[in-house]
A and B are shown apart, each in its own frame.
Chain A
Amino acid sequence: MNRRIFLPLAGALVALAGVRAVSAAAETPSPDQAPGLVSERIYNAAKPRLLQVRSVLASADRQSSIGSAFMVSADGLAITNYHVVSQFALEPETYRLEYTAADGRKGLLQLLAVDVADDLAVVKVDQPAPEFFEFDSQALAGVLPKGQRLYAMGNPLDLGFTIVDGTNNGLVERSYQQRIHFSGAINPGMSGGPAVTEDGRIVGINVAKQLGSDLVSFLVPAQFAAALLKKAAEGPVPAPESFQAEVGRQLYAWQDGMYHAIAEAGFRDVASGPYQAPEPSAPWFTCWARTNENEVPKPRANDNTTGCNTSTALFVANDLTTGLVLMSHAHLKSVDLNPFQFATFASVTHPAAGIGLFHRKWQAAQECHEDFVQAEPAGEHPAVRVVWCARPYRTFDGLYDVLVQAMTQDRTGEALVSRMNLQAISYDNALGLTRRFLDGIRWKS
């Protein structure tokens, strides 16, 4: 019965939206500002400055991934995404980089610089470029007005160069990485392409879209591209083999920055039953809660979990995204379980496993250490049983995926199971956060 009521309602909503769209179009003032004409002008100007970038598997002479790029200097420098060139950057002996221009010219690309954190790369084509894009000054200053019309270009799905329009919706909130929220259709293959204003100046670089949503896409702000371009233009041309170590260095620096920012933003205490535990205050964490209260059959122990995690992950390679941080606290309380059953309930529902997928290409085996720990002063902290696991990255020196799980040991039918997942973190940062985390698990004051 309920479903039937919704159908006409939904129909009314669609009709309403249609009317609004039409009226919005009707309000557009001058005729030469009609969307079709603007995008035609922009595309015609941009066409000779656009590139399609192909990662080619050298041994087979076939493309293995494609993306887009755009010219930014007369001597042939172009900007694209790091993730478009990541195969070549990490495995230069297996892949090579090629470009195809809009007029069909082809050639080899040289990789000059990468910025893994902001997903950018600077490449150089093998001939000078008479036409190239310039950066928008408002974008460089970071004061792009929300609602401004933007035009994104690239070669989606290898269908040919394309222009789509959309709206600037400002910087994404709750994200450690700065990204512009662009309401427009960005599709695979357009990565690395430019997003420009109506006068054709660069405001961002197409980077991603949100799956399971409509027209929610993301751009890397232009100022990062300008900075990387400056670095690439000034520095010497690095050897292709040097990029893997460079990616490792950037990952190391990135995690150092992020984990220090987390520590700097501080922690707030959340209460769970008789305990309180730390939660990160940094704004780019998404916090949530869940309960098993209304499950069927009726649970014999309550499980109320709250947690916070970062929502953005760092693309490193096609089969490696990393950098997720999670902190969660599960307050478990027995309803009618005896102490042994309660302990089994805790071990089965909250196993100390799962730092993320294990990919042997990127990571070596993890090792765990566990013990019963009493933080000082003993009057404020319950004893906890801590399982601490670390899994080293094989390719990137000094980085580990770390899992910390602490279960309070002061009661028989009630416990707090606190957990931290720290991906791609240095050992020292992990130890520091572990101390902060354990210090924060205490009895409610």
Chain B
Amino acid sequence: MIWVEILSRQRDVLTRHRIAGDSVTIGRGYANDVVIDDPHVAVDHLRIGRDADGALVAEDLGSVNGLYLEGIAARVSQATLDGHAAIRIGQTLLRIRDAAYAVPVEQPIATLRPRWPLLVLLTLIILGIELIGAWRGDFREFKAATYIQPLLIVTAIVGIWVTVWTLLSRIAARAARFESHLLVGLTAMLTVSVLNEFLDFGAFAFSMPDLVEARFALGFIVIGAAAFIHMRLIGPARLPLKLAGAVALPALMVGYHAIIDADQQRTLDPPSYVHLLFPPAIRLTPLKTEDQFLKDLGDMKGRIDKARVADKP
């Protein structure tokens, strides 16, 4: 008995044919055991048989486009099949297995722990951070919008992000996996929120305005990582490509930002100092003496003068 499986490009089984006996013919013609509607497949393209040891062997019957074994670039006229690697005729992927092919053991169904408490908890933490942030910076008269607006904004961002990944998942993997995507989306949002808080605090606490600048880069690294996890959820195929995409996105954005920043340095005269202040107790860097501070200012002169000369009219 031989099983012929026709696969999608994502290696999902599209159709599965069970053939009694030790030989199968495959082609476009209706004289074959398995008929394939691919214009690049010959009328009689392939015969599957067994060699002396009983292993399955595929043999090209003289087609124009030939037979290819997965993982080997060159065309082959004959190939021994292990039931694992796919073969390609025309533009169709096939996988041949027989009754002896060993499948993994049965997996127990994971205890169905409900995930919504975790999702609700994450959501509440994110909204809580936003609320505290809005309250912390609210020195004007009370307006409800001051507090509602940031909540709406994060909700919209996470909502759109998760919806897009769920739809992609539904299309590509035929499973929406909404809860998993939501978990990834919320985790990413929480990471970005916490990171932003720490950068704001740190910039003041250590007198390091550059930390505020780092927000953009770190944000995109988190977005890239989240995108990679979403793509893994959709399917395990082509992981290196997905990883490359997840690395390239933040790299490109950070590079672009650096270029824009360098342009602005010369043209917009941006005062690069810590804009958001905190109570004195947040300071972590030691106090400088006046002499040390003035010495630092003196050292800055060389940098300023150099930049002045470098910025030719």
Select which of A298, A370, A390 is within 8 A of B207 by beta carbon: A370
* CB neighbours of B273 from chain A (8 A): 352, 368, 370, 387, 389
User: B256 in the interface, Cβ–Cβ < 8 Å?
Assistant: no
Compute how far the CA of A438 lies from the CA of B296 in the bound complex, rounded to whole angstroms.
Answer: 15
A374 touching B289 by the CB < 8 A rule? yes
Q: B279 contacts A342, CB within 8 Å?
A: yes
Besides A344-B277, A431-B298, 13 other A-B contacts (C-beta < 8 A): A297-B140, A300-B141, A343-B276, A370-B209, A371-B296, A372-B288, A373-B287, A373-B293, A389-B273, A407-B277, A409-B283, A427-B298, A435-B294
* C-alpha gap A411/B294 in the complex (Å): 24
> Looking at the complex, which of A15-23, A50-58, A100-108, A333-341 is the stretch in contact with chain B?
A333-341
CA distance A407 to B283 in the complex (A): 13
Of A347, A353, A385, A400, the contact of B276 (CB 8 Å cutoff)? A347
Q: Is the CB of A358 within 8 A of B283?
A: no
Comparing B16-24, B121-129, B216-224, B301-309, the segment that makes contact with chain A is B301-309
Which of A298, A368, A390, A409 is in CB contact (< 8 Å) with B280? A409
Does A364 reach chain B (CB closer than 8 Å)? yes
Q: Which residue of the partner chain A has the closest CB to B301?
A: A427
Q: Mark A355-366, 1 if CB is under 8 A from B, else 0.
A: 000101101111
Contact B308 A374 (CB under 8 A): no
Q: Which of B139, B209, B305 contacts A344 (CB 8 A)?
A: B139
How many A residues face the partner with a CB closer than 8 A? 58
With the chains together, A340 CA to B280 CA distance in Å?
10
| A-B interface contact total, Cβ < 8 Å | 142
Provide the bound-state CA to CA distance between A298 and B273, in Å.
30
B174 is an interface residue with CB less than 8 A from chain A: no
Does A392 make an interface contact (CB < 8 A)? yes
Q: Using an 8 Å CB-CB cutoff, how does the interface string of B284-302 with A read, 1 for contact, 0 for none?
A: 0111111001101110110
In the complex, chain A residues whose CB is within 8 Å of the CB of B280: 383, 409-412
**Minimum C-beta distance from B12 to chain A (A):** 54
* A388 proximal to B (CB < 8 A): yes
Bound together, the chains give a CA A390 to CA B304 distance in angstroms of 8
A342 with B281, Cβ < 8 A, contacts A365-B265, A371-B288, A431-B297 known: no
Contact B269 A340 (CB under 8 A): no
Given contacts A343-B278, A344-B136, A373-B290, contact A400 B271 (CB under 8 A): no
B138 and A341 contact, CB distance less than 8 A: yes
B69 to chain A, nearest CB (A): 62
Question: Cβ of A368 and Cβ of B287 under 8 Å apart?
Answer: no
A128 at the interface (CB under 8 A from B): no
Contacts of A376 in B (CB 8 A): 289-290
Asked whether B304 lies within 8 Å of A367 as measured between CB atoms, the reply is yes
Q: Is B272's beta carbon under 8 Å from chain A?
A: yes
In the complex, what residues of A have CB within 8 A of residue B238's CB? none
Judge whether B269 and A369 touch: CB under 8 Å. no
Which residue of chain A is the closest to B312 with respect to CB atoms?
A394
Q: Is B158 an interface residue (CB 8 A)?
A: no
Q: Are B308 and A364 in contact (CB under 8 A)?
A: yes
Shortest beta-carbon distance, A48 to chain B, in Å?
43
Partner of B271, one of A340, A360, A361, A389: A389
Is there contact, CB below 8 Å, between A365 and B266? yes
A366 closest partner in B (C-beta): B269
Q: How far is the CB of A61 from chain B (nearest CB, A)?
A: 25
- Say if the beta carbon of A375 comes within 8 Å of chain B: yes
Give, as a whole number of angstroms, the nearest-CB distance from A329 to chain B: 17
Does B267 belong to the interface (CB within 8 Å)?
A: yes
Q: A364 contacts B139, CB within 8 Å?
A: no
Chain B proximity mask over A404-436: 1 for CB below 8 Å, otherwise 0: 000101111000000000000001000100110
With contact pairs A343-B279, A352-B271, A439-B290 given, residues A369 and B138 touching in the complex (Cβ less than 8 Å): no
User: Contacts A411-B280, A412-B279, A434-B297 hold; do A372 and B139 have CB atoms under 8 A apart?
Assistant: no
Listed residue (B138, B272, B273, B294) with the most chain A CB atoms within 10 angstroms of its CB: B273
B159 interface hit (Cβ, 8 Å): no
User: Which residues between 173 and 231 of chain B lie within 8 Å of chain A, taking CB atoms?
Assistant: 207, 209
In the assembled complex, the Cα of A345 lies from the Cα of B278 at a distance in Å of 10
B134 to chain A, nearest CB (A): 11
Does A78 belong to the interface (CB within 8 Å)? no
Please measure, in the bound complex, the distance between the C-alpha atom of A77 and the C-alpha atom of B195, giving whole angstroms.
70
* B289-A364 in contact (CB<8A): no
Residue B274 at the A interface, CB < 8 A?
yes
In the complex, which residues of chain A have a beta carbon less than 8 angstroms from the beta carbon of B288?
Answer: 371-374
Residues of chain B within 8 A of A364, CB atoms compared:
266, 304, 307-308, 311
Residues of B with C-beta under 8 A to A389: 271, 273
Q: Which residues of B contact A375 (CB under 8 A)?
A: 290
A348 within 8 A of B: yes
- Report A229-266 CB contacts with B as 1/0, cut-off 8 Å: 00000000000000000000000000000000000000
Which chain B positions have C-beta within 8 A of A373?
Answer: 287-290, 293
Q: Which residue of A lies closest to B276 (CB)?
A: A347
Task: Determine if A372 and B287 form an interchain contact, defined as CB atoms under 8 angstroms apart.
Answer: yes
Can you show 7 pairs from A to B with CB atoms below 8 A apart? Answer: A297-B140, A347-B276, A365-B307, A392-B307, A411-B280, A412-B281, A434-B294
List B contacts of A427 (CB < 8 A).
298, 301
Q: B261 CB to closest chain A CB, in angstroms?
A: 12
Question: Is A147 on the interface with B (CB-CB < 8 A)?
Answer: no
A374 and B288 alpha carbons, distance in the complex (Å): 6
Q: Which residues of B, 115-137, contact A by the 8 Å Cβ criterion? A: 135-137
Give the complex CA separation of A365 and B272 in angstroms: 11
Residues of B within 8 A of A361 (CB): 313
Closest to A400 in B: B304
Minimum CB–CB distance from A317 to chain B (whole Å) comes to 14
- A367, B303: Cβ atoms under 8 Å? yes
Contact of A431 among B135, B271, B294 (CB under 8 A): B294
Within 8 A of A (CB), among B135-189: 135-141
State whether the Cβ of A121 lies closer than 8 Å to any Cβ in chain B.
no
- Contact A337 to B139, CB < 8 A, known contacts A372-B283, A394-B313: yes
